[in-house]
Amino acid sequence: MKFRNRITRLAAVPLASACVVLASPVALAHDSVIGGSVTSGEVLQEFPREITLEFSGIPQEGYNTFAVTDTDTEEVLFDAEPDITGRDLTIEVPEDVNPGPGNYQVGFRITSSDGHSTMGSVPFSVAGAQGATVPTETSNSEAGSSSGSTAELSGGLKTVISIGAILAALAVIIMLVAKMRGTNKKG
């Protein structure tokens, strides 16, 4: 019976540590696109003259940029610094840009409301003779993790989970060493 109680106590620490780490709030994620004048997968009748992306938080002033790319040719059509109005970031499409039917994406890199750099893209298409098909949306933070609709963990959450796992493993090792020392002293 004593052996089973010791195992239970030894297992309790890493299990409790894992629960604390895994129960940490998902609010560690960066801002993500939740709407705008161009939405993921949307098929427009003509190329927009103004592009607005609405984010889940209010982006901070600082380094914010949009780039519009033709995804068929991978040519960057233009880039611009957006105007910020609350959660909306807006760019005007230059007069000389009117690419016609095809597949496009608005790539963005913003300073999220949490102060971290966040990047991603919103694909859309313009209808026409080419019969555009739209690629899926992507969104990544600076650390290479998701901040959009994908199921990957944010870089901060990965770090917290890694540190929690290391601390749990160290706790188990310390308890095992203490147990062995206690057994050696008795015997």
Instruction: Note whether 21 and 34 are same-domain residues.
Output: no
User: Does residue 185 or residue 122 have the better pLDDT?
Assistant: 122
Tell whether the model's pLDDT for residue 91 goes beyond 80. yes
Residue 108 and residue 74 in one domain = yes
Sign of CA dihedral 150, 156, 159, 163: negative
Residues 72 and 8 in one domain: no
pLDDT of 63 over the 50 cut: yes
Domain residues for 115? 30-148
Considering the domain architecture, whether residues 132 and 87 belong to the same structural domain is answered as yes
Alpha-carbon distance of 6 to 163, in angstroms, equals 25
Whether residues 51 and 143 share a domain: the answer is yes
Instruction: Specify the pLDDT at position 75.
Output: 96
Q: Are residues 54 and 66 located together in one domain of the fold?
A: yes
Q: In terms of domains, do 81 and 101 share one?
A: yes
Q: 17-24: which pairs have CB atoms within 8 A and are 24 or more residues apart?
A: 17/164, 17/165, 17/167, 17/168, 17/171, 18/164, 18/165, 18/168, 20/164, 21/160, 21/161, 21/163, 21/164, 21/165, 22/161, 24/157, 24/160
CATH number, residue 86: 2.60.40.1220
Answer yes or no: do 76 and 111 share one domain: yes
Instruction: Provide the number of structural domains found in the chain.
Output: 2
Residue 85 has pLDDT above 90, yes or no: yes
Confidence band, pLDDT 50/70/90 cuts, at residue 178 = confident
**In this structure, what are the phi and psi dihedrals at residue 11, rounded to the nearest 5 degrees?**
-75, -25
Residues 39, 112 within the same domain: yes
Could you tell me if 45 and 122 lie in one domain?
Answer: yes
Residues 138-174 pLDDT 10s: 444 443 333 333 333 445 555 656 676 777 777 778 8
User: Do 7 and 53 reside in the same domain of the chain?
Assistant: no
9 and 95 belong to one structural domain: no
**pLDDT averaged over every residue in the chain:** 77
Question: pTM of the full predicted structure?
Answer: 0.57
